[in-house]
Amino acid sequence: MEAYATNSSRVATPMENPKTYRVLIKASARHAICFRCPVKFKIAPRNEDNNMSDQTLNKKRIAFLATDGFEQVELTKPWDAIKSAGAEVVLVSPKDGKIQGMNHDEKADQFTVDQNVSNVSAEDFDGLVLPGGVANPDTLRTCETSVSFIRDFFKQHKPVAAICHGPWTLIEADVVRGRRVTSWPSLKTDLKNAGAEWVDEECVCDEGLVTSRNPDDLPAFCDKAIEEFAEGKHAAQTV
């Protein structure tokens, strides 16, 4: 990952024409932030042969928890990126059959559920992704089986990535207290009331918990989620 300055202290090399690229910088011993700034970096795109290995997540199993009303691109983009990195990806839902994706307020495609959440546990996976959409997390947070499934990832110190309205379910699971997070702006008050420190940043990582604001943040969100899933368990990722 020559293009990124991260908390593993990899150093980028310069090139002639500066462009704007995503940079991951260690903000403190506990937190990391992701943002874009003009830098002169040699870029190694993730899906080219000279990038980080396509098997970064080899033998990892990542769950995507969603139900009707999820924002489609917030599932498909991370799904493709994580699968390309070598992981097995599994669509988990409290609903059997197919679930309805959304493109903002309009119906998009339907997706076949791989496993009902009542038939799996956090022990079966190495990480969890929570797509957004308004109806999706609003329904999930009323499903105790789904909420318990999410909470167990934190109890087992496993990385979790939530984008846009996805952190709504984290509030119900009571796992954001004392954590630094971001989200869709309308969740700011809810997250702060639940004990979180809310910030308006493209991508925030707090000990294995990755959060982003909206679909525009997906490139940073996917990169950081893959990095955290590759690192595995985080001792401070707990409740």
CATH classification at residue 90 = 3.40.50.880
In this structure, is residue 49 part of a structural domain? no
* Domain membership flag for residue 195: yes
**Together in a domain, 38 and 139:** no
- pLDDT surpassing 60 at residue 76: yes
DSSP string, the chain: -TT---TT-------SS-EEEEEEEE-SSSEEEEEEEEE------TTSTTSS-TTTTTT-EEEEE--TTEEHHHHHHHHHHHHHTT-EEEEEESS-SEEEEEETTEEEEEEE-SEEGGG--GGG-SEEEE---SHHHHHHTT-HHHHHHHHHHHHTT--EEEETTTHHHHHHTT--TT-EE---GGGHHHHHHTT-EE---SEEEETTEEEESSGGGHHHHHHHHHHHHHH---TT---
Query: How large a percentage of the chain has pLDDT more than 90?
Result: 74
Q: Do 31 and 117 fall within a single domain?
A: no
Do 220 and 102 share a domain, yes or no? yes
> Is there a single domain that holds both residue 170 and residue 210?
yes
| Catalytic one of 34, 143, 164, 203 | 164
Question: What integer pLDDT is reported at residue 239 of this predicted model?
Answer: 66
- Assess whether 153 and 96 both reside in one domain: yes
**Is 205 an active-site residue?**
no
Domain match, 161 and 65 both: yes
For the segment 138-164, the average pLDDT, to the nearest whole number, is 98
The proportion of the chain whose per-residue pLDDT surpasses 70, expressed as a percent, equals: 77
The answer to whether residue 237 sits within a structural domain is no
User: Does residue 182 lie within any of the structural domains?
Assistant: yes
* One domain for residues 4 and 87: no
Report which residue type is found at 26: K
Whether residues 142 and 32 share a domain: the answer is: no
223: which residues sit within 8 A by CB, 6+ positions away? 4, 22, 24, 34, 46, 81
The reply to whether 38 and 68 lie within a common domain is no
179/120 same-domain check: yes
Residue 238 belongs to a domain: no
Range of the domain at 164: 55-231
Within-domain flag for 50: no
Q: Give the tens place of pLDDT for each residue, 157-206.
A: 999 999 999 999 999 999 999 999 999 999 999 999 999 999 999 999 99
Count of domains forming the chain: 2
What pLDDT does residue 146 have?
99
For 27-58, what is each residue's pLDDT tens digit?
444 455 454 444 333 333 333 333 444 678 99
**30, 102: one domain:** no
pLDDT at 13: 38
Give 60 or 36, the one with higher predicted confidence.
60
Tokens representing 146 are 């789904």
155 plus 219 within the same structural domain: yes
Residue 239 placed within a domain? no
* 9 in a structural domain: yes
Q: Write down the pTM of the prediction.
A: 0.78
Query: Is the predicted pLDDT of residue 23 greater than 60, yes or no?
Result: no
Model confidence band, residue 135 (pLDDT cutoffs 50, 70, 90): very high
